[in-house]
């Protein structure tokens, strides 16, 4: 069983973070249309307050796996005080229309482009767990629902029952509802999938849901209050992103691919390279060896790969 899976299972088993401090979404000014690099990474000296990596991730609006990719040697339960921790706040925008909501499953991030505003808001998310995958799709928001009830599907109830948990037919609205206090329903698959909150913050940045997209409570409230019905939603699965910036700098950003089984190790699992990325690698000004190094390293950080 791979290290990342073991670490995440351990975090889920021992964390109890009901009193996490509120955090605000990370907003970035939109770069010009011929640029896709945003933000700057930060380095944090781990304080002596005993915070877990999940708590630090929450404070900086980062998902747990994103922090682990950027800091592969860190102890997620108790980062060593005084050590350096990379806060991955720089990223390459997905190569998609800058419209509505874009979700990249591989990087466990949601990008929201508010209409008429020259900015993008980035949220860490939880997505469908192994065997209950969040599908790739282009859809739209059909309903905004505050204080939603949860009606588990027959498959969800069957899966929970296999784990010894009997779910009621309907879970009422409130703080114990796994959907949290706000939900945005998607048109795809007859409205089966939602973007919603959670009553368990530690699942953000992990594959933990039954296929829906999950946000921290403060994040879903902010998104809910700004996203209108009819908003376009595009879900992609692209672990490798590249960009050529206006000044000629070339960057690659590589995330771990989604596992297909518990035996997969996302750090070594092969990644399918698109024709666009292949062309980028083979251009004379690209250091192809460095790109291959990043594909193997999978840090989730944009790295300059000019020769």
Q: Which residues are catalytic?
A: 196, 212
Residue 196 and residue 63: Cα distance in Å, rounded?
A: 16
Residues 6 or more apart from 241 whose CB is under 8 A from it? 36, 92, 94, 95, 252, 253, 254
CB 80 within 8 A of CB 214: no
- 178-to-16, 48, 96 alpha-carbon distances in Å: 15, 32, 31
* Assigned token pair, 228: 């209108």
Q: How far is CA 233 from the centre of its chain?
A: 15
Beta bridge partners of 127: 207
Residue 69 and residue 267: Cα distance in Å, rounded?
A: 9
Angle at which helix 275-282 crosses helix 288-297, to 10 degrees, equals: 130
Instruction: Match 């767990």 to its residue by tokens.
Output: 129
Q: Which of 105, 144, 115, 114 is nearest to 241 (CA)?
A: 105
Residues 6 or more apart from 291 whose CB is under 8 A from it? 252, 280, 281, 305
CB 95 within 8 A of CB 276: yes
* Assigned token pair, 235: 């879900």
Per-residue DSSP letter, 189: G
């Amino acid at each position: 069983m791979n290290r990342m899976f073991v670490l995440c299972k351990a975090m889920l088993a021992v964390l109890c973070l009901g009193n996490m401090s509120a955090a605000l979404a990370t907003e970035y000014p939109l770069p010009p249309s011929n640029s896709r690099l945003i933000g700057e990474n930060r380095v944090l000296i781990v304080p002596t307050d005993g915070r877990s990596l999940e708590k630090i991730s929450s404070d900086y609006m980062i998902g747990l796996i994103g922090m682990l990719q950027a800091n592969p040697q860190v102890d997620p339960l108790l980062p060593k005080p005084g050590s350096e921790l990379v806060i991955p706040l720089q990223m390459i925008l997905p190569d998609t229309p800058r419209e509505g909501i874009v979700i990249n499953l591989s990087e466990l991030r949601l990008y929201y482009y508010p209409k008429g505003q020259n900015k993008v808001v980035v949220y860490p998310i939880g997505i469908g767990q192994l065997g209950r995958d969040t599908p790739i799709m282009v859809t739209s928001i059909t309903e905004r629902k505050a204080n939603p009830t949860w009606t588990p599907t027959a498959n969800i109830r069957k899966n929970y029952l296999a784990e010894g948990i009997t779910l009621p037919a309907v879970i009422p609205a409130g703080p114990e509802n796994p959907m949290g206090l706000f939900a945005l329903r998607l048109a795809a698959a007859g409205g089966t999938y939602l973007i919603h909150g959670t009553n368990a913050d530690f699942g953000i940045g992990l594959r933990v849901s039954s296929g829906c997209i999950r946000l921290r409570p403060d994040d879903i409230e902010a998104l809910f209050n700004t996203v209108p019905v009819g908003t376009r939603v595009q879900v992609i699965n692209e672990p490798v992103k590249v960009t050529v910036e206006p000044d000629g700098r070339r960057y690659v950003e590589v995330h771990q691919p989604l596992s297909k089984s518990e035996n997969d190790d996302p750090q070594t699992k092969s990644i399918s390279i698109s024709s666009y990325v292949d062309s980028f690698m083979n251009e004379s000004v690209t250091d192809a060896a460095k790109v291959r190094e990043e594909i193997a390293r999978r840090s989730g950080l944009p790295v300059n790969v000019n020769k």
